[in-house]
Amino acid sequence: MNRWPLLTTCIGLIALVSIGGAVPHGSGGSSIADEVRLASEALAAFNFDRAVRLFTAAHDGLERADPLWERATLGLALSTQYLDPPTADRALRAERLFRELADAETSPRFTARARLSLGRLAELSDFRGDEPDPDAAIGHYRSVYERWPELPAAEEAVLRHAGVLAERFDDPASLDAAIQLVESWLATDADGTYASLMHEFIGTIALFRGDEREAIARFQRAEELGLSEPNLSARTWWLIARFSESRNDDPETAVAFYTRIVREAPYSGHAFEARLAIERLKSAFPEIDAPTPDLETFGIDVELDGDE
Amino acid sequence: MSSRVPRPSMDLIGALLVGVAYAFSVVATSLPGRGQSADALDVDPDARVVQVMHWQLEPGFREGLQAIIEAYHDLPHVQAAGVRVEQLAVPNRVYAQILNVHVISGTAPDLCQQGTSTLTGGNAIAQYFEGLGAAVSQPNAYNQPEYLPDGLDPRLVDALANRPWRDTFLNGMQSGWNVNLQDFYSVPTSFAGTKKLFVNESLLQEAKAYLRDAASQSPPPGWYARLLRQRSVQGDAGFVSEDDAYAAWLATGGPPDTLGRFILIGHAIQRLYDGDRDVSVVPIAGSNYSYGIFATNYLTPFTASYAAALDLDYNVSIDSRETWFGWQSGAWSFRDPAIRSYFECLQEISRLFPAGFLGLDREQARRRFVSGQAAMIASGVWDAASIFQAAEGKFEVSVIDFPLPGLGERWADQCGPGENSVSSSGGAQFMVNRSSPNRDWALDFLRFLTSYAANQRFNQHTAWVPIVLGTVSNAEVEAFRPDPRGVSKKSAMMFSGGDVGQIATRYEGELKNYLAGDLTYDEFVERVEAAAADPFNGVDRVWDRYRLKNRDWVRNADASLAVQVARDLLLEHDDAQSRVLRALRRSSLRFNGQVPSWSWHRLYPDQPFPEFP
């Protein structure tokens, strides 16, 4: 048997591996703190592979008592969770790390985050054959908002818990329970950081259930609190205006939000239609006394007029 | 007896592997790498070269960019730093491959045009390109008064000098914002996306004179009479109504301002040059590139009225999936007057293309137009400079919008407003390579390129549309400036697209057959509907894929959330908490990927969601 093909291929592969040696390494001789920082930066840049490598090196050299340990553990767990492709091994490793961090209870923010992630791992099917465990997920979420209600993570946990319930879209009782849970939270913290998103959450459920009136009310409340994604404001304004108009029962609101689209979202693509709608509504409801705004013409005068 | 096919020797493959790897290793270890700093490489730190890679090979672009590069080189602080900017113009066909290889190997140019490569999209952007959020929040140093021309409106000077860099763009730099990654990753240098009709004025006047002559005859010639609007119980015929408005238009030299008049001009050209003359002239320089421009531009006026009924996920944008879900649920039908009119309109326009237009490419069409052998051509601003230059001295070129049916014209009842062009799409958007040792200078050059004076000069060279506040276009491309009048293109139906798999393939193929006149409308519809109704590869399959895609989106949204959590808890960035909120929004409002199931349940409450192995 001729062994040359195998031998030369092996040499070729060895040479290819040596390419890796030609690439400079930037982290040699650095401290663990530097490694954690570099790993965190890699994670912040969506470079999960590099983050796992760097966090692993840092994590392995740290004692639990070290202040860096919770950072390295959280970073390694998050990076491992989102390595592609998702596999059972990776999910289990991430889960073990999150559990380790949650059990260590080093600091509330890190512990709460670990529990939220454990909930998410339980809630979703992370790899082929992974069976979601909604009850376990709810347990993790509940533990966060009951124990640390003052943290932003608590609001996130409420939304996640409600999300588990809302996933059963064909069960009205479950949808009602989702809304009730969020409502209860809003009753005690109406202006929280996540209150606007909570109203959007309820409004979106209402849309899918065909309750446009409730959807409009929720989106308006979210708008008053400040939309969680300002870059998508025009989309929300359009929905409020369109449904206010199509329901034919609140033309003033429709005109108000169409006007905002023309004035504040001239690049949304809907300004022209919004302006036509204003004219249409003013014609149908003469009692509406509102000016029809001019369209943005991309000229310097219009742009600068806004500054005056 | 069996013959043996020669197979490549494994020895040879192994040896080649060794050779390639060795060569790469030698190069990688001996040449300056982009991942290494100048200090570490022991090269002159003053000799910095900032490379700009793009695929814009259209006439004017490279010259325009070079003019700005040279102006940049003249700046005292740039000279003092020994910075040189070089452009690398790469053909579009290989741009993605070249960029991918160099991005992954860490040798990509400092500034790369965004697009075509998968590494300039998705989460990969954040891995390989610099987030620009902090930079675009600061004023552009090159918009300070000392860099601005004298005589500018003081309000403009104030706005340019003091607003954040992003707010000195007419579109607020929206096209550079990545909602998934929650940062700015690219900077546009022009407006793009608007397509228009270029008109040969000489041929237009010939056609109008010919039409005037036909209209003055009594009775008019048969070919002309057939173009006039006639309604009967047998159906519609003709395109324009011979009313006062038509007579007024015909009396002038004005371009076709309605769809009916546009088709009339086309037929007049066909009659004028129907083989009796030496020169072959067609009404429209059609090609396998331009038929799609007409197909896209007429989608909005004919189909946007369906938007509210099709928007299943309430994102105020219709995609190809929602279009076909609407077909399945009966929200629209190929028998609807508006839909049928759309396809009939396209076929009528295609009859004005040269025979065999599907075998012609973009460049062949452009050459036909500039050589005076076509009255009109559809294209974008990127072809403007080459068309105007090539036509200079031969004939005048004007630029017009795609006309819509006028009052009383055919299809007027089925057609709504046209498409606006305020989409925030920018042209020639550049990204800063994360691993560049010259990131600061790359960013500095980008600031210069998008400063008031340089951006206007650059776009005047390229004959593109400048994007910075207060800038002025060349007169000939003024028509390409964004026009807010019209409906959003996001409201238009999409019959084709990668998300609908086999349906799109069949649709595209049969549409070409229909436009070429090889199929009747009924035959076209029968074939496309058969593909859509196919139990294995039809719309049911699209639902299944949609659900899988939604699960991927949820995972991506969760990955984005993880990144923002890292920025918050591990890096303690000031803006991280608001980004955590935004990332959570993307994740939680997808209801764990259940939106497709929910939509299906609303449409078909008693039927199980389609599942495929």
The CATH code of the domain at A168-228 is 1.25.40
From B155, B481, B602, residue closest to A304, measured CB to CB? B155
Measured between beta carbons, the chain B residues lying within 8 angstroms of A160 are: 588
Is residue B273 a contact partner of residue B265, using CB atoms and an 8 Å limit?
no
What is the average pLDDT across A123-145? 94
Helices and strands of chain A, counted as H and E runs: 15, 0
User: Mean of the per-residue pLDDT values for chain A?
Assistant: 88
Res. A297 pLDDT band, cuts 50 70 90: low
Taking only the tens place, the pLDDT of each residue in B524-556 is 999 999 999 999 999 999 999 999 999 999 999
Q: Which CATH architecture has domain B195-295+359-414?
A: 3-Layer(aba) Sandwich (3.40)
What is the predicted ipTM? 0.87
From A71, A207, A267, residue closest to B422, measured CB to CB? A267
Cβ–Cβ gap B585/A229 under 8 Å: yes
> Which of B17, B130, B166 is most worth mutating to test chain A (most A CB atoms within 10 A of its CB)?
B17
Taking only the tens place, the pLDDT of each residue in B13-50 is 555 555 544 444 433 433 334 434 334 334 445 568 99
Residue A299 tokens, joined: 């000229």
From B11, B482, B597, residue closest to A298, measured CB to CB? B482
Cβ–Cβ gap A41/B571 under 8 Å: yes
**pLDDT at residue B480, as a whole number:** 87
- A15 min Cα distance to partner chain B (Å): 6
Does the structure show a pLDDT above 60 at A289? yes
From A9, A22, A228, residue closest to B25, measured CB to CB? A22
**pLDDT at residue A251, as a whole number:** 94
Taking only the tens place, the pLDDT of each residue in A145-161 is 999 999 999 999 999 99
- Share of residues in chain A with pLDDT > 90 (%): 75
- A47 min Cα distance to partner chain B (Å): 6
Q: Which segments within chain A are labelled E, that is strand?
A: none
Cβ–Cβ gap A269/B422 under 8 Å: yes
Taking only the tens place, the pLDDT of each residue in A263-276 is 988 878 899 999 99
Q: How far is CA A210 from CA A95, A257, A306, B566, B594, in A?
A: 38, 21, 38, 38, 16
What is the arrangement of strands in the sheet containing B282-284, beginning at the earlier edge strand?
Answer: B282-284, B374-380, B195-200, B397-400
Cβ–Cβ gap B484/A156 under 8 Å: no
Helices and strands of chain B, counted as H and E runs: 26, 14
Cβ–Cβ gap B123/A46 under 8 Å: yes
Cβ–Cβ gap B558/A40 under 8 Å: no
Does the structure show a pLDDT above 60 at B186? yes
Measured between beta carbons, the chain A residues lying within 8 angstroms of B594 are: 167, 169
Taking only the tens place, the pLDDT of each residue in A77-119 is 999 999 999 999 999 999 999 999 999 999 999 999 999 999 9
Does the structure show a pLDDT above 50 at B587? yes
Does the structure show a pLDDT above 90 at B258? yes
Fold of B42-192+425-464: D-Maltodextrin-Binding Protein; domain 2 (3.40.190)
Cβ–Cβ gap B28/A170 under 8 Å: no
Task: Please report where in the chains the tokens 């319930």 appear, as a residue.
Answer: A165
Cβ–Cβ gap B602/A7 under 8 Å: no
Does the structure show a pLDDT above 60 at B367? yes
- A40 min Cα distance to partner chain B (Å): 6
| Pairing state between β B48-54 and B111-113 | parallel
Comparing CA positions, the residue from B297, B378, B385 lying closest to residue B342 is B297
Res. A44 pLDDT band, cuts 50 70 90: very high
**pLDDT at residue B38, as a whole number:** 37
Measured between beta carbons, the chain B residues lying within 8 angstroms of A98 are: none
Does the structure show a pLDDT above 70 at A301? no
Residue A67 tokens, joined: 């202040």
Measured between beta carbons, the chain B residues lying within 8 angstroms of A9 are: 10, 13-14, 17
**pLDDT at residue B382, as a whole number:** 85
Helix, strand or coil for residue B195? strand
Domain ranges of chain A: 168-228, 240-300
Count of pairs with CB atoms under 8 A, one residue in A, one in B:
234
Cβ–Cβ gap A231/B179 under 8 Å: yes
Q: CA B296, B299, B301 angle in degrees (round to 5)? A: 130
Q: Which amino acid is at A12?
A: G
Is residue A23 a contact partner of residue B28, using CB atoms and an 8 Å limit?
yes
Q: What is the DSSP letter of B275?
A: S
From A124, A193, A210, residue closest to B592, measured CB to CB? A124
- A213 min Cα distance to partner chain B (Å): 15
CA B277 – CA B258 distance, rounded (Å) = 29
Does the structure show a pLDDT above 50 at A29? no
User: Mean of the per-residue pLDDT values for chain B?
Assistant: 89
Nearest CA in chain B to A38: B571
Taking only the tens place, the pLDDT of each residue in B273-332 is 986 666 789 999 999 988 999 999 999 999 999 999 999 999 999 999 999 999 999 999
Of B421 and B61, the structure prediction assigns the larger pLDDT to: B61
CA A127 – CA A91 distance, rounded (Å) = 8
From B36, B158, B584, residue closest to A197, measured CB to CB? B584
Cβ–Cβ gap A22/B29 under 8 Å: yes
Measured between beta carbons, the chain A residues lying within 8 angstroms of B164 are: none
